[in-house]
Structure 1
Amino acid sequence: MISVDETSAYLRRPDLNAVVMDGELVMMGVEQGEYFGLRDVAATIWEALAEPATLDQLCAAVSAEYAVTPEACRADVAAFLDQMLDKKLINRVG
């Protein structure tokens, strides 16, 4: 299992195509041969990953949009990043 590094920034892969369909962000991972659908918090994180962002920055983005503190969502955001790293949808930068 990949582990999120709290000092690194993360960035979505620029070669992934994503579109909004029926309120869901849908993307195709050509390398993976799979479609991925993101809603709500996951879509918020994905949008924030348009620029390099650390775990702290992503937690702040989630807490600004949803009724949750950065500390309360930290484990879930880290787990989401782990999944995205595992599927090679995002890159660690720095």
Structure 2
Amino acid sequence: MTNMTGLDQQRFVQNKNYIASDMNGEKVMLDVQSGKYYNLGTIGGRIWDLSAQASTVDEIVARLLEEYEVSQEVCKQQVTTFMGQMLSEGLVDIDDQGTSSR
């Protein structure tokens, strides 16, 4: 399991090596190199969409709180865990350029 410490301070961005599609309201993805298939579900798919532009966990949580009825604490814990899993699977990357503000 990925260490979650400090993940909420990182900016995540989609790994563009995946083909993503909506299927019956859920986001499904395919890694064309490995043939590995992912079903992110509805909310996981929404998080994927929000990571199209580099975003922190807090930025993603803020958007989800506007769209879903969930407590901030539960949402942040689940988004942090989900982003850690997506990072460990290579679905998202850490956006190193996003940390510099010029």
Q: Normalized against structure 1, the TM-score is what?
A: 0.88
Unaligned stretches of 5+ residues in structure 2: 97-102
Q: 1:42 aligned to 2:52?
A: no
How far 1:2 sits from its partner (Å)?
2.1
Aligned partner of residue 59 in structure 1, secondary structure: helix
Amino acid at match of 1:8: Q
| 1:1-94 mapped onto 2 (5 Å cutoff) | 1-4=1-4, 5-94=7-96
**8 A Cα contact 2:65 2:72, kept in partner:** yes
Of 30-39 and 70-79, deviating more is: 30-39
Unaligned stretches of 5+ residues in structure 1: none
Q: Which has the higher helix share?
A: 2
Aligned partner of residue 6 in structure 1, secondary structure: helix
**8 A Cα contact 1:45 1:61, kept in partner:** no
Residue identity (%)? 30
Structure of greater Rg: 2
How far 1:15 sits from its partner (Å)?
2.1
Aligned residue pairs, count: 94
Segments ≥4 residues shifted beyond 4 Å: none
Whole-Å separation in 2 of the counterparts to 1:70 and 1:36: 26
Whole-Å separation in 2 of the counterparts to 1:57 and 1:3: 20
**8 A Cα contact 2:27 2:40, kept in partner:** yes
Q: What is the aligned-residue RMSD (CA, Å)? A: 1.5
**8 A Cα contact 1:10 1:52, kept in partner:** yes
Q: Normalized against structure 2, the TM-score is what?
A: 0.82
Question: How big is each residue's C-alpha offset from its partner over 1:19-66, in whole Å with a ceiling of 9 and x where there is no partner?
Answer: 111222111023443111122221111110000000100111211110
